[in-house]
Amino acid sequence: MTINILGINHNTAPVEVREQVVISESAQPDTLREIRSLPGVTEALVLSTCNRTEIYWAGSPAPAEEIAGLLETSKHTGTGFRESLFTRNDAEAAEHLFRVACGLDSMVLGETQITGQLKTAYRLAQEHNAVGAPLGRVFEQAFSIAKKVRTDTEIGASPVSVAYAAVRLAKQLFAGFEQHTALLVGAGETIELVARHLRGHGIGKIFIANRSEERAQRLADAVEGFAMPLDRLDRALPDADILIASTGAPNAVITTEMMRTAIRSRKRKPLFAVDIAVPRDIEPDVGKQPDVYLYTIDDLNNVITDGQEARKQASVEAEEIIREELERFSRTERQRVATPTILSVRESVMRVRDEALDNARRRIAAGHPVDEVMQHMVHALTQRILHQPTERLREAAAESDAQFLEVAKELFLGRPSASDEESTATPVRPASSNR
């Protein structure tokens, strides 16, 4: 295999480091072109989510340093960036991808959202002709394994997700959910999950603010909420008891000044805020304001961990599936190395066969007896096929290359069976009698 990964994720870096290297979907085509322009890179794919930014490429592992440089110069990265990077190559890279696809490397054990994000990244790379056979095979295998894990284990049975954790925290802070108002910023998959959880727990009102008001309206209709454009966000903040944000904006959409104004209007009523976005949607200093309880996606980890016990046994089963599938995939990839040689040998032998067959037909047409022609053809065919291997065996013998001779013997005669080995073993002679 020639698969490589360089990345940063929630296991290696906190959100303040991860948010520096998020690559938006609109920026990914340019990033793919830059990576593929590096010497030794034949294919590339970018996976960038709130928990990870990982570059996958086929070819030499040598460009890892240049790829790290591309990430570092994409934004003003600070201390801790280089130390947070990790690399994987070949079988280790495939194993990492398989675990990511199955949700085993996620903050939320067994979450399914990452599989969809991987498919989106793969589809985008395909659209820009950035992936071919090597990356294509390993990603298709990853999707197949993820499906098998979902089908054969209970990894996704328990209701544990970032959205679930955010709503669970909100319920701990507020009694009487039906008397409170939630303001959701964004309209993507995570916010949709949050909205449905809130509705399921009986929240009083849901407001959804999004750059695309049409998209916000569709989600609002689904949860009996109210939609608004993002530029009216400051007007809705004073009424929000619960604020949950998850947009793809490159900068904060909720500033400290906006929150100060809202707090004055709220007259010391507590406000619970969760910033699920990376880069963050809510300025960090908002959490320093009185009566504001601000959590980031990393803060939700403790809540998520409490709810993952039921998934741990299923993850053991999933790891075993991945181990077996990785072994099978690695074996198949190693066998691909022999494919050109196998094809060349077969073409060469078939060429000799066709020449012998044409010669036999000409001899029969000239009136030679069929049995004589058959004998001549078989002899000539055997001689031509075995000539070069025989000469090479003689050379190996002259050079005392015992290993080559053993491999050749196995290649032409096959591996000896246990019964063959027993029959060729030196017989044990009975002890002589002194009588």
Return the active site residues. Answer: 50
Beta bridge partners of 53: 8, 48
CB neighbours (10 Å) of residue 159? 11
Q: Locate tokens 């295999």: which residue?
A: 1
C-beta separation of 153 from 317 below 8 A: yes
- Per-residue CA distances from 174 to 87, 177, 303, 344 (Å): 43, 6, 16, 73
The burial class, CB within 10 Å (0-12 / 13-18 / 19+), for 211 is: middle
3-state secondary structure of 293: strand
Torsion angle (degrees, nearest 10) of CA 280, 283, 286, 287: 40
C-beta separation of 219 from 191 below 8 A: yes
The first and second tokens of residue 428, run together, are 């044990």
User: Which helix (H) or strand (E) is 81 found in, with range?
Assistant: helix 81-84
C-beta separation of 225 from 208 below 8 A: yes
